[in-house]
Amino acid sequence: MTLDEILRSKGTQVFTISPDATLDDVVQALVARNCGSLVVCRDDGSMTMVGIITERDILRACAANQGALHTVRVVEVMSEQLVTGSVGDEVETVMGVMTRERIRHLPVVEEGRLIGLVSIGDIVKAQHDRLTMENHFLKEYIQI
């Protein structure tokens, strides 16, 4: 299974935020959308990715006493070193990358353009579904 198949199943909607937004804006957006990360994109209309902000980044900012959430800008605490995937990446490979890099959200790009986002939950679900299907077919084969 590839990331393309996951995105076709779950959809390609990606929640984004401006680098100039505040952490309070991020918290409100995460809660409203029931998600764990926002891709940070330039707000010049280009939708160019410049980073990602996650729940973990917010916790680090709070622990470092960087200020009240409404005074700290996304650009000050976002993760700028983006790890990305492409539509042809296999789930097994992506699982290894996400584990090694200790990330839970992976932007998916095609020809330099953001086309989706997968979470570690999406990856685990895909693996679970595949193994369940294999198990079903093996049991059917054994019963013959």
Residue range 30-60, pLDDT digits in tens: 999 999 999 999 887 677 899 999 999 999 9
pTM (predicted TM-score): 0.86
- Give the model confidence (pLDDT) of 60-99 as tens digits: 999 998 889 999 999 999 999 999 999 999 999 999 999 9
State the Cα angle at 4 between 109 and 88, rounded to 5°.
70
Q: What is the DSSP letter of 118?
A: E
Residues whose CB falls within 8 Å of the CB of residue 17, separated by 6 or more in sequence, listed in order: 25, 26, 29, 38, 39, 40, 41, 53, 74
Cα gap 93→18, rounded to integer Å? 30
Return the pLDDT at 23.
97
Alpha-carbon span 54 to 48, nearest angstrom: 18
Average pLDDT for 19-28: 97
Q: Where are the domains of the chain?
A: 3-143
The yes/no answer on whether domain 3-143 falls in CATH 3.10.310.10 is: no
